[in-house]
Structures are given as C-alpha cells and as structure tokens.
Structure 1
C-alpha cells in the first residue's frame, strides 16, 4: 500500500512539475557582460560556449544600452550633469564600431522533457543583431529594427548539463545621424525604424550611442507542446452608461494565436476564466501548425466598468487564458488584466473637432505629452508607476506618447490602466525628420525625407508586432500615424486599411497628430501651440485649435532640483532684456534647453540669486498651468473637445516643459494643473473678472454652495459673495462678476482671491486661491507681507503615509504658497518620489489644511520641511 501511495505521489509530482514547467517565464536581467567589437576577434559560435573565457569582459546592464553600461562601470561621466554629455564621444564622430558591442550571459536551464518547449524572447534590441546560444547561431539572417519582438525555440540547443551561454552582438542604427542642432539632427536617423530624438531635439541633447543595446527585457519562457501568443481581448459596452449605476451586460470577445512546435498532433481546449465563469473551445493542432482561435462571445452580467481618471473607478478583471491538453495538462497560459470599457469617437460639428467617448459618456480631454521615461531607456515598473501616478495627481485623463520616441513598454500601460489615464499613442515618425517642412539642417531634401524610413516592410512588421503587444490594455484609446505628418502612402495604407482593421478594430486611428480629422479651425486648418510663456488672458480669450495636441509653457524646478544637475559656478540668474526681448543665459542652462520666463519673474521683484529666481519661477509655473487648463476648460464643448500640454515630463535633466524633474521631484506646475484640472472646479476669469464653475462630471450636481472672498495683503477678509449653485453637467456655469470688488481690493498692492465650492453639508469640492496683481500688473504687495503665523504638525497615518496639517492664526496674513517636502534626516535631502495630495498651498487666516504624503522609500524617522513665501523654512518631526 505504501509503495502504491509513493507511486501515486510520484505521478502527481511529475504532473505538477510538468505543469510548472509549462507555465514558467523568467527574466535574464543580471550577470551580463559586454565588450567592444574592436577588442573581440572570435566569432559568436565560440563566444557562446561556456568554455570561452570572459574574464576581461565588463559587467553590462541588460535591459539597457551601451551607454548605461558604460555609466555603470564609470567609463563615462553622468551625462545628465552639467556639460558631461559633451565629454562622451558621439557615434557620428567615432564611427559605429565604437558602440558595437558583444553581450554575453550564462544561465541555468536543463533540457526540456517530453513535449515541453523552451523559448528565448527578446522584447527589444537596437538596432541590428545576431544571437548565439551554446555554439549555435539562432537567427538565419541579421535581425534589424528597434521595435520588433523576437522569439526563438531553443529547446534543442540547451546544454545537457543545464549550463548555457547566450551571446548577442549588437550593432548601432545605420545611419546614426549628424547631431547638427536640428530636430533629429540632420534627419537621417529617421531612415531607421528607431527612435528619432537620439540625434538631438530642442528639448534634449544628442545621445552619444543612439540607444544601441539590448534595451528591453530578455526572458526564458517554458511551455508544453502548444504555446499561446498574442491573445486579444475586446470589450464591448453598448449604450450610455453611468459610473455608479447597475449595468446592462457587456460583451467579452477573446481570441489567441496557437503554435504547435512539435511533430505530433495535439488536441486540447483553449479556455478562459473571467469573474468565476468559463468559456472554452475544443482545438486540434496538426504537427507544426499555427492557428488563430476565436472563442464564443461572453455576456458579462452587471459589469464593473473601467473609467478614465475622475469619471469613475478603474475596475480590472483578471482573465486567465489556458490551453489544456487532452491529458488535462496546462500547456501554456496567459494572465491578462481586463478593463471593461468601450471607447468611441465622433465628430463634434459645433467645435469642429473629434470628441472622445468612454462607455457612451463624452470625456473632455485634459492631457499631457510624454516622451519616454528615461532617454537612456532605463525603464522600470516602479518608475512608470510613479510617473503615471503624477499624471493622475495632476487630474489629467490622457497621455499622448509622442511619435519621435517609441511605443511604450507594457508596464507603462499597466500603470495607465491602474490610474485611469487614456493613451494617445503615436507611431514612429515626425514632421521634423520625415519631411513636412523644408529644413536647411537636414541632409536630404524634403521629397526624399518623405520616403523615410528606408525599409517600409520592416516598419509595417514592427507596427503589427507592437499593436499585438499592447492592444489588450484598457487605457490605450487612440492610435496615431505619426507626429505632425503621415507616414509614406504605402505605410499609411497598410496600417490604416489592413493592420488596424485586422489587429485592433475598436480604436480610433488618426493619420497624424494634428490632422484635419482631429480638429480644424474656421479657416480649415489645424496645428498646435502656442508654446512658451503666455499672459493668462491668452489661455482664456485666444481661440486655438479645437483639439490641440500640443500647447504649453515653461517649467523649471526649484533650487533643490537645479542643484542636481547644474554646477555651483553655473548658478547664474538669466538676464532678460525687455527692450530687445532677449535673454542672456548661462551655457549650462542653455545646454539643458532652458526656455525663458521673459519678465514674468521680475513682476515679483528682481531675483537676488538663482534660489530666489527658482522660487519665484514656481509662482509663475503654478499660475501658467492652472490658467492654461482653466482657460481651455472654460470653453469646454464650445471651442474645444480637449487639449494636450506640451509637455509634462522630460527623459533627462532638461529645463523646460515639465511638471516634475527627471529625478521625480515635482514642481509647482504639477499642483497648478492639479487645481486647474479638477473634475469640478471653481475659477476666476482674468479677462472679465467673472467667477464660474467647470464641471466635467457626467452626473448631476445639486445642493452645492459657492463662496467668494478677497483678502488684503495684511490678511483682512473682504466677503464678496455666498451663493447656492447647481453646476451644469459636463459644462460651464457662470456665477457672477466681481470686477468692481477686485479693482477696489487689488489696485494698490494686489490682493488674494479665495474661491470655494462646497456641498451644503460643507464638504469641500474645490478650493482655489489666486494672488492678484496691482494696477501696474505687478505683485508689489507680496514683498510687504507680514510673516505667516503657521502651526505645523506631521503625524503618521500608516506605513509610508503621513498627514501634515497647516493651521494659520486668525490674526495673521494669508500663509502664502507653502512648499511641503518629505526629508530624509540622514541626507537632509528630499525623499523621491513622494506623492502629495496637494502642494504649494496657501492657508487663509483662521483656517487649516491637511496634506497627505505617500512614499515607498525605506526612510528611518523622516522629517517634513515647510517653507512659504512669507514663512521661513521649518523642519518638523513626524510624531
């Protein structure tokens, strides 16, 4: 009996092991080594054997680029600091061999048993490469293209001992482009199917190695005889839905591509489980067969829907898709997080622009343009999460991934699903490189550049592959053919008429980012801008493009941010000449693509030094981005269906267009947007002195109450209005004009305007404080403010969460523009990233505000720093 039990146990263990083998995937992300091709004379067949010595090879970063490995090994200085990037040899001058490298990695994996299979997956290599394993070349011809996943069945090449060596030689793009100061340099980088900005842009310097390397994940995947690839989940949510209501059913459609890589026929079941229900289909695959399988539609009862940020919850269902053989063994499975929603678009004839609908509800688009997380492609799930969370905290609902960069990695879309951020995804190409304009800095003429890239077939294959990679994410909303230009006609036709209908037919495809199919003016034109600093009246009164894909302003960080990449000797205040409208700027500032504030900072008083300059810049930052989004929102569904800020982040230490710096330290731009982009927001129009409420919510608002107060510089309260109001659903409601009251209070020294929207039960909906200029358009009174009488407490709420309460005295002035920072007491530096429920806050006399701080870093006994316009920095212990 014991023998029988042992036999049964052995059989059970074997089955478990086989199933475990059939479902294992792991990443090869450590232990890599690399060496320049000029120092290696042997071939890949030899290098990829475990007996080949790698003693003089250096550690490599994979995923990563040649440059990230060189930085890790301290072969080159940090290119983000000062002028260090200029010290690193540029590939245009060194030649391609200088950045052509071998990468090698040893890993343990025993030979598969029975019909089990083992695959090597490469999610992204730039630009061309050959792959060797245990003395064998895996690819028949040179692989090319930065954006094409590759997979190799390595089952027969695994070593019997289980000790394996992988060797990959990676060649840079060709051509590499001349970084001559043009957008994308001389433009020839676009002849490749690769990133364009690596040859430089007006917001970034050239990347010396052009991102050459194994830049994305390398994984080992183990399956049974049948493998599932590129599953596709479509959700259909007919009708107009309300977020909190009981729902009519949604339709779930699931399909997958199946591969049988063995010499025997395999019979089994393709099935999935969703919300406790199972859908299945019997399948037989002939030896070596590949087939597409469509499962029956499933009607999901009372679905929990996925909504964009602010409109409702971001519900996700877990879908487990399996192929189970006739012997009841899992051959392969894929786990997919499904957001049940339907995205549609329609032409809004009133605004003359495209309108985006989610679950039947129109969504006013408040978006930000995104380049990549890191110019050196040092991507991580944690960083993606932090950056997308910042966009959620700005109260935005869309990110446009710009076409001169890349289709982002799956982890980015996971974060967007989590935080409710729709994605407007450009495909590769930009008007700058691809010939929309004549440009003396480009090597080839406009007509020639219109034919880029050189290999159209590679481009089309790459687009097809990347569509399959990310099409299941609920956040992915719009596909775009390119930045400010269409691709060549044959590519456009293939993508629009074949790939999209076949691979992803539920999303809007727009041919390019400022297409007339997106929006047009009365003159029948479309475009973008304005860029750079603007008077607030421009955002409110100047009508731009009805769905503006790029509109932006300034955005430097504060002094702590600047210190991270600007040497002390270069901390020189920019000098703006109002008569010539030119600015004298330090060379390091210029290299880091500083964009000028003109005389806007001087209105707060001539800055004494860079610290003073950067502090006053935050006032401008806040005002600019609050005003931008308020101005566009004030014409919601009248002039506009949406606007997308150029831009909300930088992939390196730049000095323009960013709500937080490369190091994930937010500046006042973020919190100005946080205020101006509120779902329900009470606001002041500087052009006509009216107070209004913009309400993006799809549900009716009743029993609300608006209060309007003015405060003198000294802190005297001047009540203006208190009125019940029921803001219009998805619209703008004008309340009253306060022109006379503002003129009376602000003429001499300026004043503070406090707007508040509450429910009748006093629960706060929107709280908005403006600082108003004097009759000369300056903020003279701010420099005469008495010191704030602020009591500050900091208490832990839970692990990684702190509540900071600011209490202002009734007898004092407004405690104005207070920056809260979480500090590591060991380094006396900010804990990054930290997420603040609000920041740069003003506290009215006799009132208090509580700000919540959240962080993930292991910090022992953190402290909280608070400093404001009229408050010297105070350090508070968390008690």
Structure 2
C-alpha cells in the first residue's frame, strides 16, 4: 500500500501493530504536477527545493522506526528534479549490512556510526515506474485499468514485467449509493450502441461520464454485465455489476499469485477508493460501503489459498507464508442449478512448500459427459487431521463461449436458510454474530464423503435444533458464555440449490421512509459478505457498526435468490 501524508503517526501505528501491511512511502512528487499534463506542469517543481528537502528529512526521521515501512519512493509516475533526487539518494543510502539479503541472518558486526545514515535500512526508489517496477525505465507500463476477460489475468502474455506498481478495474457501487449521490437524471443505466464489428459500446449518461465511469465492456470483449442478461433498471444493473466486480478482482489477484516468484514479484491495486464520488475502480465508495470487489480481493489475498486457474483449469494452492503446509487435502465439488452435485473429488494427502504456488490437479469437469451450461464450483483446502478448513473458494462458471443467462431464472428459486444470531450492544456500538446455514439436505450420493462440509463436526446424541445452537456457541465461545439471547430466523423455501451471492446491510428503522431514500447505516464492518452457501453448508458472519443517537438499526439479508430482502434483526 502506498503511504499517506495525513495522520501518518496513527496510520503507521495501526499497520505496525494490527494489520500486517507493508507501506510504500512516496514523497511529494507527482507527474500530475511536476512535468506532465496539458499544459505541461513545472518539470523543476517543487518551487522551493530546500524547503522540500527539509520536510523530506523530517518525514524520514518521523517514520524510519516503523516496521511496517517497506521502502521510500521519490515520486509517483515521475522522478524528483535531479538535485532533490541526488540528495534523497545520498540521505537514504543503504548501510552495507542491508545491501545483501544473504546477511540478514548473520550477527551484526562492526556497525558504523548510525548518524551517517538518515535511515540505512530500506531501499530508495526514484519513482514508481523506475528501478525494477514496471519496465524500470519510467515508461507507462503499468495498468491496465479497465475490464478484462477473467481468464486473461492467468495467461503468460498478460503482463510482461515482474512488479506492477498499479493495476485496476471496474468499481460500480450499489444502487443506493447512486441514488444518494445523484438526482434522478443520473439513475439512467448505460445504453448499448452496436458497432459494425459487433462490439456493443456502453454509452453512460452525462453524470456518470462526468464522474469518470469505467465501463463493463470494451472493444476486446463482450459486455460482462450482459453475460447475465440485459439489465432492466438501476438496481438490476448495480447488482449484476457486483457479480462482475467480485470476479474481476478475485481473478486479478489470483492471476498474479498463480505465478508468484516464477514470473511476478508483486502487484499494487489502483485503487481502494475514490476520493470523491467517482465511478471508477474501488473497493468501497465515498460513503464507505464496500463493493463486492473488496470481498473478491479479500478471498484471493488469503495467505493460504485454494484457487482455480481460469486459463488452464488446474486447481492450485497458494502458500504465501514462511511455513511449509503438510497433511492437507483439497475437496472439489460441482453444484448445478438444480442443487445436484454431478462432480465430487477429494485429493490425496498433500504438502505445499513455503512461499510457493503449487498445481494440484486438473479439473475434469466440465470435460465430462453432459456438463451443465452454468454451474458452481466449491473448493476447500482442509487439514486431514481434523477437517479444519484453511481456505474456501466458490466460483460460478459457464461453458466456453457460453454465458450466465440461466442465472436469471435462478432468481426465482427459494432456497431455505436458517440464521442464528446474537446481538451485543455497548452504548452506540453494535456487534451481531451470526451462523447462516443453507438448510437443504446434502445429496445422499455424496453425504458420506463430505467430511469437512460443516463448519464443525456434528455432536453426537443431539437434535438438529440443539446442534445448531451448540454449534453457534462453540464458534463464538470466545465472546460469551451466556446460554440465552439467541435469535433464529428461517426463510421460507422448498427449492434445492445454492443460496447465491448473499449480502447483509444495516439500515435505520424509519416509519416515514421516502421512496428511494437511503436508510443505510455506514460504515459497517463485515467478516464476510457477498458469499454463497451450497446445500447443508453453514458459515459464521460477524457484523459490527455504530449508530447515531436515537436510531434503531435493522439488519437485512438480500441475495440473488432473496431480492425482496429478509430482516434478520
């Protein structure tokens, strides 16, 4: 993550202690202001070089003792003027002890006077696209920043260099954010203009264009929202956009980690959010509501992760930790739109070395006979000793040259759910702990094989109802030892299948709610969101938020199969 200049002490303190994120710290040089643009900006900026260096040296002294600080960078998409660059190179020269990684485990000997070094422990890079980043020469070899075919991220010719300092994609927020941001004239979804070559160009309304909207199609690929069927209105468009957001950012990161240390050394995503009401790549909008892209990225960025290579259809296990993995296995199950499981496989016992991505097996489905045109693939990486799940990853996929239009009629499916919850209130702060379960029965053909299907193993000699309560208590026993206060909500439904793309939101309860009024309480922290559950599967979800004085919150569950919404609390 690139460092911030505002409230840096708080920023670094949090990252040092809790978040395990390394910071890329830039100085105050940017191509937008120092040598580029129309008209061309001042290439010798800043105006006062001595003042700049005085501030830079103070910043180095302020930040150099923070372990989360990774490296110093002279400028973003630009290098500092020659005199400033030379001064920073001298001030930030490495101590000989830190010039070779081979010395890191050696005892410290003959450490010269530290006052000779303003830092001495971290590298200085003169610009974000120089010295080993992108093509290393300062050319614009970062990006791309637009929608991609998901499988392209995995292809060898997608990106030519080891470290990409910026890559991005789409980031449409939910419909409620659009309504809260723009007048009704801005609620018009893009029109499609068909070209002679068959390309359907998105034509956004003027307000979206002003807000720098990045579209969901380009002249290289089909409209990714259109793969789910033509969007009917703003709500439909934004919901389908969340599906695409999730797929895009998961594939983006999984494509890089698929070649971790064999081709790629790193990647930075531009950007987490827009500093204004922009409709460009983002993980959360200006109101602090996360898009589904955040959860796709979160899934792919697990330190230990199981994934499908969308180009080769090989199942891979990513181990970014410094410890070898052993005594593990992968479970792969395919679920069709009728709730059946036409493919199921558990691998033999596996081991994966530290800091390695390893190909495990090739997915034989959909190469088998009579594959379904649209299906779900659930991958689980688990410990053989206790069936504890280390990584879980669910894909929705279609056959080659196909689409997801069958999911449109899947919206009418009514999949039964059971949500057990407990609410903790401290002043204006709320914490909701839930266990969400798809109560469809597991098909008998695979029930005996799905050892790790539940979050925890079944308890002997108890009813299903008691088991659910017991399971909930065991998951959350670190929070409370109370036996009461549990609330259970069950949704009506008799259909079999996957409870698809479930997502929670928190709202203020209002009796006089106006049509289209945004009642969301933001920000809200979710342990997971935009998730799916196959038959018989359960998942714990934590939600925490703070409410304004006098406001009564309401927690709502929606999903692809639950478009009318269900109040949980």
Taking the TM superposition and a 5 Å limit, the aligned residue runs for 1:276-291 are none
Q: CA offsets per residue over residues 166-201 of structure 1, 9 Å max, x none?
A: xxxxxxxxxxxxxxxxxxxxxxxxxxxxxxxxxxxx
Give the conservation status (yes or no) of the 8 Å contact 1:746–1:772: no
Question: Match for residue 596 of structure 1?
Answer: 215
Go from structure 1 to structure 2 and tell me whether the alpha carbon gap of 1:526 and 1:607 turns closer, same or farther (over 3 Å shift): closer
Instruction: Determine whether 1:779 maps to 2:404.
Output: yes
Which one of 481, 486, 507 corresponds to residue 823 of structure 1?
A: 507
Question: Match for residue 359 of structure 1?
Answer: none
Q: CA offsets per residue over residues 828-853 of structure 1, 9 Å max, x none?
A: 72221111111101000121212111
Question: Match for residue 434 of structure 1?
Answer: 34
Instruction: Determine whether 1:583 maps to 2:210.
Output: no
Go from structure 1 to structure 2 and tell me whether the alpha carbon gap of 1:635 and 1:597 turns closer, same or farther (over 3 Å shift): same
Give the conservation status (yes or no) of the 8 Å contact 2:77–2:138: no
Which has the higher Rg, Structure 1 or Structure 2? Answer: 1
Go from structure 1 to structure 2 and tell me whether the alpha carbon gap of 1:867 and 1:467 turns closer, same or farther (over 3 Å shift): same
State the 1:459 CA deviation: 1.5
Q: CA offsets per residue over residues 71-126 of structure 1, 9 Å max, x none?
A: xxxxxxxxxxxxxxxxxxxxxxxxxxxxxxxxxxxxxxxxxxxxxxxxxxxxxxxx
State the 1:819 CA deviation: 1.0
Task: Determine helix, strand or coil for the equivalent of 2:325.
Answer: coil
Q: CA offsets per residue over residues 578-615 of structure 1, 9 Å max, x none?
A: 53564311121112111111111010010000111000
RMSD: 2.4
Question: Match for residue 562 of structure 1?
Answer: 178
Give the conservation status (yes or no) of the 8 Å contact 2:503–2:531: yes
Query: In 2, Cα distance between the equivalents of 1:678 and 1:719?
Result: 26
Question: Match for residue 476 of structure 2?
Answer: none
Question: Match for residue 531 of structure 1?
Answer: 145
Instruction: Determine whether 1:487 maps to 2:80.
Output: yes
Q: CA offsets per residue over residues 478-520 of structure 1, 9 Å max, x none?
A: 1100012211110101111136664322222111111134464
Question: Match for residue 465 of structure 1?
Answer: 58
Which one of 785, 789, 793 corresponds to residue 420 of structure 2?
A: 793
Instruction: Determine whether 1:833 maps to 2:527.
Output: no
Give the conservation status (yes or no) of the 8 Å contact 1:648–1:658: yes
Q: TM-score, normalised by structure 2?
A: 0.77
Give the conservation status (yes or no) of the 8 Å contact 1:592–1:654: yes
Give the conservation status (yes or no) of the 8 Å contact 2:378–2:394: yes
Question: Match for residue 126 of structure 1?
Answer: none
Query: In 2, Cα distance between the equivalents of 1:653 and 1:720?
Result: 45
State the 1:407 CA deviation: 6.2
Task: Determine helix, strand or coil for the equivalent of 1:792.
Answer: strand
Give the conservation status (yes or no) of the 8 Å contact 1:862–1:877: no
State the 1:877 CA deviation: 4.1
Query: In 1, Cα distance between the equivalents of 2:160 and 2:270?
Result: 14
Instruction: Determine whether 1:854 maps to 2:544.
Output: yes
Query: In 2, Cα distance between the equivalents of 1:450 and 1:524?
Result: 15
Instruction: Determine whether 1:455 maps to 2:64.
Output: no
Query: In 2, Cα distance between the equivalents of 1:513 and 1:820?
Result: 38
The alignment covers a number of residue pairs equal to 468
Query: In 1, Cα distance between the equivalents of 2:336 and 2:369?
Result: 7
Give the conservation status (yes or no) of the 8 Å contact 1:685–1:691: yes
Go from structure 1 to structure 2 and tell me whether the alpha carbon gap of 1:608 and 1:745 turns closer, same or farther (over 3 Å shift): farther
Q: TM-score, normalised by structure 1?
A: 0.51
Task: Determine helix, strand or coil for the equivalent of 2:54.
Answer: helix
- Runs of 5+ unmatched residues, structure 2: 94-115, 218-222, 442-494
Task: Determine helix, strand or coil for the equivalent of 1:702.
Answer: strand
Q: CA offsets per residue over residues 723-747 of structure 1, 9 Å max, x none?
A: 1322221101111111x41244885
Instruction: Determine whether 1:646 maps to 2:270.
Output: yes
State the 1:550 CA deviation: 0.1
Higher strand share: 1
Q: CA offsets per residue over residues 519-549 of structure 1, 9 Å max, x none?
A: 648x997831111111112211123321110
Which one of 540, 561, 565 corresponds to residue 870 of structure 1?
A: 561
Query: In 1, Cα distance between the equivalents of 2:77 and 2:226?
Result: 36
State the 1:466 CA deviation: 2.3
Query: In 1, Cα distance between the equivalents of 2:188 and 2:40?
Result: 36
Give the conservation status (yes or no) of the 8 Å contact 1:431–1:485: yes
Which one of 205, 216, 240 corresponds to residue 616 of structure 1?
A: 240
Give the conservation status (yes or no) of the 8 Å contact 1:550–1:645: yes
Task: Determine helix, strand or coil for the equivalent of 2:70.
Answer: strand
Question: Match for residue 474 of structure 2?
Answer: none
Task: Determine helix, strand or coil for the equivalent of 1:658.
Answer: coil
Instruction: Determine whether 1:422 maps to 2:47.
Output: no
- Runs of 5+ unmatched residues, structure 1: 1-398
Instruction: Determine whether 1:412 maps to 2:28.
Output: no
Task: Determine helix, strand or coil for the equivalent of 1:503.
Answer: coil
Query: In 1, Cα distance between the equivalents of 2:353 and 2:92?
Result: 41
Greater relative contact order structure (CA < 8 Å, 6+ sep): 2
Question: Match for residue 3 of structure 2?
Answer: 401
